[in-house]
Amino acid sequence: MGIRFILMVNKQGQTRLAQYYEWLTLEERRALEGEIVRKCLARNEQQCSFVEHRNYKIVYRRYASLFFLVGVDNDENELAILEFIHLLVETMDRHFGNVCELDIMFHLEKAHFMLEEMVMNGCIVETSKANILTPVQLLEKTS
Amino acid sequence: MNPFSSGTRLREMIRAIRACKTAAEERAVVRKECAAIRAAINENDQDYRHRNLAKLMFIHMLGYPTHFGQMECLKLIASTGFPEKRIGYLGLMLLLDERQEVLMLVTNSLKQDLNHSNQYIVGLALCALGNISSAEMARDLAPDVERLLQFRDPNIRKKAALCSIRIIKKVPDLAENFMNPASSLLKEKHHGVLITGVQLCTDLCKVSSEALEYFRENCIEGLVKTLRDIANSPYSPEYDIAGITDPFLHIRLLKLLRILGQGDADASDCMTDILAQVASRTESNKNAGNAILYECVETIMSIEDNGGLRVLAINILGRFLSNRDNNIRYVGLNMLMKAIMVDAKAVQRHRATILECVKDSDASIQKRALELVYLLVNESNVKPLTKELIEYLEVSDQEFKGDITAKICSLVEKFSPAKIWYIDQMLKVLSEAGNFVKDEVWHALIIVISNASDLHGYTVRALYRVFQASTEQESLVRVAVWCVGEYGDMLVNNVGMLDIEEPITVTESDAVDAMEVAIKCQRLGLTTKAMALIALFKLSSRFPSCSERIKDIIVQNKRSLVLELQQRSIEFSCILQKHQNIRSALVERMPILDEKTFSGRKAGSLPTAVSTSSIIPCNLPNGIGKPAAAPIGDLLDLSSDDAPPAPVSSGGDFLQDLLGVDLSPASAPSGTSQSPKTGTDVLLDLLSIGTSPSVQSSSSAIDILSSSHDNKAPVSNLNGLASHSSLSANATSPASSAGMMDLLDGTGAITQKHEENGPAYPSLVAYESSTLRMTFNFSRQPGNPQTTFIQATFTNLSPNVYNDFLFQAAVPKFLQLHLDPASSNTLPASGNGSITQCLKVTNTQHGKKSLVMRIRIAYKTNDKDVLEEGQINNFPRDL
C-alpha cells in the first residue's frame, strides 16, 4: 500500500540501498531493479519524473550521482512523493553533513535506520527531521 | 569493542568489492566473505556477529542469497544489548519476509520486546512487526499493539498506529477493536501521531464499512478543524517545507476526507469550506503547494456535487495543464481523467492541449494523453481526433505503435458514422501499422466489408492499390487477398464505382499476379499464403480465362513442406480437375456475416483497454462463459487480453475459421439472418457444401455456436463426397463444433461397415416424391447402441435417367454423421436400378432424442439441374 519500495541507485546502475515493502524474491528484485533503472537512466532532464511500469508508478529524482527511486501505487499523490524524496535527502544531509554516495555505502545501516524512522509498512510515519534523527543520534552517542 | 564502528572489516569488504573490475571477481570476493561468515556462525562467535550481519546485508543488497544468516538475526534479537538488537531487527526486516517459517520463532522475542521498559526497544519491535508480520503473528500480538496505541510516548503511539494498519490488513476481523483507539488518535497534536492516525483511519475505512460509517458520523468535524489549524498555523520550523507546514499531513487529511465524503452528501457539505480555503489559498509556485492542490482537486472531484467547488477545481486544472514543468502537466492530465467522469464538457475545452500532449516527447505524458483522448471521443469529434491520431501513428515510436493502433481501432469501431469512413480509416491504420494489429481487428474489418455491399467495389479497388504499393504489413495483405478473392470480378470490371474514385484498370491476370505475389513472397506468413490459395481458387471460378494459369500456380504447392498449403493445393487441384461442376457452388459469394453475433462474441473475448469507459455490454448469444470485464488495473498492458486458447473461445474468432485458416475445429459462422446475396445456397463452410435450410427454415439462424438457441436447429453440414468427413457436433460444449472438412474424395479406403447382427429395424421409406424414392435400412452393432448404420437406396421413379446424382444430409448437433461414397452417380430410369449409399449415425443423446435428418438430393436430368430437399422425421424412436 502506498509505497512499495525505495531504491537508491548510482549512475552505473549499481544499487546502493534497497528497501522493499512487499515481498519479492531475489531474482525478481534484480530483474525489477534492472528494468526500472534502465528506464530512468535513459530519460533526460526535461522529461517528467514519473514513469509508469507495470501496475505501479516510479517517482524518481537525481541528486548528483545518485538516483532515488520510489515505487508507489497508482493512486498515490506523485508530487507528495517527490517532496518525500527531498525530505529524505535533507534528513540524511543533516545527519551525515553533505551526504554523498560513499557515505551511504559505508554507513548503510545508519541510512536504513533513518529510512525506517520515516517510512513504515509503505506509509510515511514521520516528517520532522528532528524527530527522525533523535533515535539515530542517540544510538551514535551510546556507541 | 564498538559495535557500530563496524571495524575495518566491513569497510574493507566494501572497498574490496568496489575494487573489483569484473562481475566474476566480485562474485569471488563475495563468496569468500560468505564462507568466512558461515564459519563464524558455526563457531557461534559473539563479538563479530553484528559486523557479520552488516556485511550480510550489504551482500544481500547486491543480490546474493543470504539465507544462512537468518538464524543470526534471531540470536542478535534475543541478545540484551541495544545495538545488537538494533542490527538484529534491521537484518530481520531486510533478510526475511513474512513467508519464512523462521519468523515464527521471533514471535516470542517480539512479545517480550513489546513489553520492554525501554521505549526505543518497544519502538524497534513495533517497527519490525509493522513491516513483516504474518497473519498469525498479527493475531497473537494484536492485543499488545492495541495497548500501545495509548502509550504515553508519542513516538510509540505513531509506530503502534502503523503497526495496526498491517494487522488489520492481515486479519480484517480485528478491525473493530481498533476503531475506538483510532478515533482518539485523531485528536492528537503531535504531527507524527496525527499522520499515522489518519492513515490508520483511512485503512480502517477501506477494510470495513462499519468503520467508515463510524468515522463519518463522529470524526469529520474534528478532521476539518485539524486541517484548518494546520492550514492556518504559523511558521513552525520542524515541519515546514517550502513555506507550508507539513504538507504530508495536509495531503493525508485530504485523502481521508475524500474517502469519508465519497457518496455521502452531508459529509461533503461539512468539508466544502475547508476545501475551498485550501484550494484558493495554497501557494502554487512550489512543488509542495502543488502537491496539496493536486490532492485537493482530486478530493473535490470525488465528493458529492457542489458547483462552486467544481469550478475552482477546473481552474486549477487549467493552470496545471499550461504549466511548463512536465511533472505538473503529467499530474494535470491525471486529474483530467478523473474530471472527465464528472464534467465532460469542461474537459472537451482542453482538447487541443491534450492533443498536443500526445505528441510530446516525454513518454509518460504521451501515454496519459493517449488514454485521455480515447476517453474524450464521442460521435461529434471522432473524425478530427482520429485523423490526428493516425497522423501521429506515422511518427510515433515503435513501442507506442501497438497501443495507439489498438486504441484507434476500437475508437473507429465504436464511433464510425459511415461504413466508408470506417473502411478508409482502417485501411490507413493497416497500411501504417498493420503488423501491430490484432487478429480480431482485421476480422472485424472483413465483416464490415462484407456487410457494406455497395462498397465492395470501392473497397476492393482501394485494397488493390494499397497492395500494389507495399506488401509489408501482413494484416493488410490478408484483407486485400480476401477481398480480391471475393470480389475479384468487381475489381476487374470496375463495378460500383463511386464518384470520388479514380478509374483503375485491372485485368484478370493482374489480379492473379497479385495473388501469386502473395503466395510466393517469403516474408509473408502461413496464414496469408493459405488465404491467397483460397483466393486464387475463388478467382479460378470467377475468371474462367485464367483458370489454367491458376491451376498451375496451385499445383506448384502440391509438394509444399507445409502441411496446410499442401493439403489445400491438393484439394483445390482435385476439384479443379475432377469436380468442375461443384466448383461454382463452392466458391460463390460469401454470405453476409452477422455483425451482431460476431461483435457479441468478440466483446466477450476482447476487453476494452480503458478502465473508466464502460465495457460494451452484450449478451453473448452463445453463452461463452468468459466474462466481459476488462482487466481494469491493467491500463498499460494491452497485450494481456488474448482470448484463452480453449476451443470454446476460438468461437470468438469465428472468422478465422471461416477462412479455413485454422486447423483446429473450425466453427462456421452463421450467415443467414440476412438474405444471402445471390439467393442461392448459402455456404456455411468454405470447403464443403452445406445444406441450407436457411432459405426455407423458419428458424433462420444456423448458428452452430448458439447453444442458447434451440438445440434442434438443424445445423452442421456434410460433404456428400467426402468419406472421411467427421462432424463433431458436441451438444455439451456449447461453442465449438464442426470438424474439418476434408475434400479428399473417396480415394481413402473406407471399408463398408458391415451390418452386424443387432436388433432389426424395419426399413423406412425416408423420402418420396413423384420422381424419386429413398429408403433406409437400419442395422446396429450389438455393443454400441448409439451408432446406427443406415443403407440408403435411391430409386428413380421417372422415365428419365438421372446423372451426376448427389446426396447430402445434415443432422442436428447431437448427432454425428458419416457418409460413404455412393455406389454410382447415375440412376437409371423407372426403377431399373438403384444407387446405394451407406451412412453411419451416432446419437449422443441416445434414448433422449431420436434421429432427425435433413436431406438434399441433386441430379441432372434432360440437361436440367434438379434439386430436391426434405426432412426425415420418422426415424424409429429408439435409434
Instruction: Count helices and strands (H / E) in chain B.
Output: 34, 10
Predicted local distance difference test score (pLDDT) of residue B10 = 75
Please state the φ and ψ torsions of residue B768, each to the nearest 5 degrees: -145, 130
Q: How confident is the model at residue B651 (pLDDT cuts 50, 70, 90)?
A: very low
CA-CA distance, B352 to B371, in Å (whole number)?
14
Predicted local distance difference test score (pLDDT) of residue B496 = 65
Please state the φ and ψ torsions of residue B307, each to the nearest 5 degrees: -55, -45
Q: Hey, which residues 105-124 in chain A have their CB within 8 Å of chain B?
A: 105-106, 108-109, 112-113, 116, 120-121, 123-124
> How large a percentage of chain B has pLDDT more than 90?
0
Residue environment code for B120-135, b if the CB has 16+ CB neighbours within 10 A, otherwise e: bbbbbbbbbbbbbbbe
Q: Do B294 and A77 touch (CB under 8 A)?
A: yes
Over residues B349-364, the mean pLDDT reads 77
Q: How confident is the model at residue B501 (pLDDT cuts 50, 70, 90)?
A: low
pLDDT in tens, B148-207: 888 888 888 888 888 888 888 888 888 788 888 888 888 887 888 888 888 888 888 888
Q: How confident is the model at residue B24 (pLDDT cuts 50, 70, 90)?
A: confident
Grid coordinates representing B330 are: 503529467
Q: How confident is the model at residue B500 (pLDDT cuts 50, 70, 90)?
A: low
Mean pLDDT of the residues in chain B: 71
Q: Do B291 and A82 touch (CB under 8 A)?
A: yes
- Assess if residue B187 is contained within a domain: no
Q: Beta B803-810 vs B787-796: how paired, if at all?
A: unpaired
- ipTM score over 0.95, yes or no: no
Which residues on B lie below 8 Å from A55 (Cβ)?
633-634, 636-637
Question: Quick one: DSSP state of residue B732?
Answer: S
The domain that contains B861 carries what CATH number?
Answer: 2.60.40.1230
Residue with the bigger pLDDT between B559 and B305: it is B559
User: What are the angstrom distances between the C-alpha of B46 and each of A45, B730, B859?
Assistant: 50, 73, 101
Of the residues A72, A124, A133, the best mutation for testing chain B's interface (the one with the most B CB atoms within 10 Å of its CB) is A124
Contact status, residue A72 vs residue A122, Cβ threshold 8 Å: no
Distance from CA of A138 to the nearest CA of B (A): 10
User: What are the angstrom distances between the C-alpha of B260 and each of B210, B271, B771, B819?
Assistant: 12, 10, 83, 71
Of the residues A41, A70, A83, A113, the best mutation for testing chain B's interface (the one with the most B CB atoms within 10 Å of its CB) is A83
Closest C-alpha to B693, from B720, B714, B669: B714
Residue B543 has pLDDT above 80, yes or no: no
Predicted local distance difference test score (pLDDT) of residue B522 = 73
Which residues on B lie below 8 Å from A83 (Cβ)?
241, 247-248, 287-288, 291
Q: Of B601, B617, B651, which residue is a domain's last?
A: B601
A1 touches chain B (CB under 8 A): yes
CA-CA distance, B467 to B477, in Å (whole number)?
6
Residue with the bigger pLDDT between A24 and B598: it is A24
- Assess if residue B249 is contained within a domain: no
Predicted local distance difference test score (pLDDT) of residue B879 = 64
Q: Which amino acid, B828? A: P
Q: Which amino acid, B368? A: R
CA-CA distance, A69 to A84, in Å (whole number)?
11
Among B134-148, B179-193, B548-562, B673-687, the minimum mean pLDDT is found in B673-687
Range of the domain at B496: 401-601
Among B58, B249, B294, the residue with its CB nearest the CB of A108 is B58
Range of the domain at A29: 3-141
Cα four-point dihedral sign B276, B277, B280, B282: negative
Over residues B769-780, the mean pLDDT reads 80
The alpha carbon torsion through B237, B239, B244, B246 (nearest 10 deg) reads -170
Residue B371 has pLDDT above 60, yes or no: yes
CA-CA distance, B72 to B59, in Å (whole number)?
15
Distance from CA of A67 to the nearest CA of B (A): 16
Beta-carbon count within 10 A of B754 CB? 9
Residue A121 has pLDDT above 60, yes or no: yes
Cα–chain center distance at B506: 41
Q: Which amino acid, B53? A: L
- Assess if residue B244 is contained within a domain: no
- Structurally, chain A folds into a number of domains equal to 1
Distance from CA of B239 to the nearest CA of A (A): 5
Question: Quick one: DSSP state of residue B434?
Answer: G
pLDDT in tens, B11-20: 778 888 888 8
Q: Do B248 and A84 touch (CB under 8 A)?
A: yes
CA-CA distance, B352 to B355, in Å (whole number)?
5
Which residues on B lie below 8 Å from A87 (Cβ)?
241
Distance from CA of B672 to the nearest CA of A (A): 45
Among B2, B248, B367, the residue with its CB nearest the CB of A80 is B248
Cα four-point dihedral sign B11, B12, B14, B15: positive
Q: Do A128 and B238 touch (CB under 8 A)?
A: yes
Closest C-alpha to A56, from A70, A32, A73, A34: A73
A60 touches chain B (CB under 8 A): no
**Long-range contact list for B828-831, CB < 8 A, 24+ apart?**
B828/B796, B828/B801, B829/B796, B829/B798, B829/B799, B829/B800, B829/B801, B829/B802, B830/B796, B830/B797, B830/B798, B830/B799, B831/B795, B831/B796, B831/B797
- Structurally, chain B folds into a number of domains equal to 2
User: What are the angstrom distances between the C-alpha of B703 and each of B134, B410, B441, B643?
Assistant: 53, 26, 22, 21
A31 touches chain B (CB under 8 A): no
- Assess if residue B652 is contained within a domain: no
DSSP per residue, A24-38: --HHHHHHHHHHHHH
Residue B744 has pLDDT above 70, yes or no: no
Which residues on B lie below 8 Å from A56 (Cβ)?
none
The domain that contains B587 carries what CATH number?
Answer: 1.25.10
CA-CA distance, A137 to A92, in Å (whole number)?
12
Distance from CA of B567 to the nearest CA of A (A): 44
Q: Which of A44-58, A108-122, B347-361, B398-412 has the highest mean pLDDT?
A: A108-122
> How large a percentage of chain B has pLDDT more than 70?
76
Residue environment code for A44-75, b if the CB has 16+ CB neighbours within 10 A, otherwise e: eeebbbbbbeeebbbbbbbbeebbbbbbbeee
For residue B266, what is the enclosing H or E element? Answer: helix B265-281
pLDDT in tens, B745-765: 333 333 333 333 445 567 777
Among A16, A26, A48, the residue with its CB nearest the CB of B364 is A48
A94 touches chain B (CB under 8 A): no
Q: Of B581, B601, B621, which residue is a domain's last?
A: B601
Q: Which of A83-97, B48-62, B90-104, B605-619 has the highest mean pLDDT?
A: A83-97
Over residues B701-718, the mean pLDDT reads 35
Beta-carbon count within 10 A of B423 CB? 22
Which residues on A lie below 8 Å from B255 (Cβ)?
77
Q: Hey, which residues 33-52 in chain A have their CB within 8 Å of chain B?
A: 43, 46-52
Q: How confident is the model at residue B593 (pLDDT cuts 50, 70, 90)?
A: low
Of the residues B50, B95, B199, B246, the best mutation for testing chain A's interface (the one with the most A CB atoms within 10 Å of its CB) is B199
B161, with CB counted inside 10 A (0-12, 13-18, 19+), is buried
- Assess if residue B385 is contained within a domain: no
Q: Do B61 and A121 touch (CB under 8 A)?
A: no
Q: Do A15 and B162 touch (CB under 8 A)?
A: no
Residue B517 has pLDDT above 80, yes or no: no
What pTM was computed for the model? Answer: 0.60
Beta-carbon count within 10 A of B558 CB? 14
Q: Do B362 and A46 touch (CB under 8 A)?
A: yes
The domain that contains A106 carries what CATH number?
Answer: 3.30.450.60
pLDDT in tens, A45-91: 777 788 888 788 889 888 888 889 999 988 888 888 888 999 999 99
CA-CA distance, B811 to B817, in Å (whole number)?
7
User: What are the angstrom distances between the C-alpha of B320 and each of B194, B311, B317, B331, B334?
Assistant: 30, 14, 5, 8, 11
Distance from CA of B635 to the nearest CA of A (A): 8
Please state the φ and ψ torsions of residue B471, each to the nearest 5 degrees: -110, 30
Provide the H-helix boundaries in B303-433: 307-322, 326-342, 344-349, 351-358, 363-376, 382-395, 398-415, 419-433
Predicted local distance difference test score (pLDDT) of residue B660 = 43
Q: Do A17 and B61 touch (CB under 8 A)?
A: yes
- Assess if residue B114 is contained within a domain: no
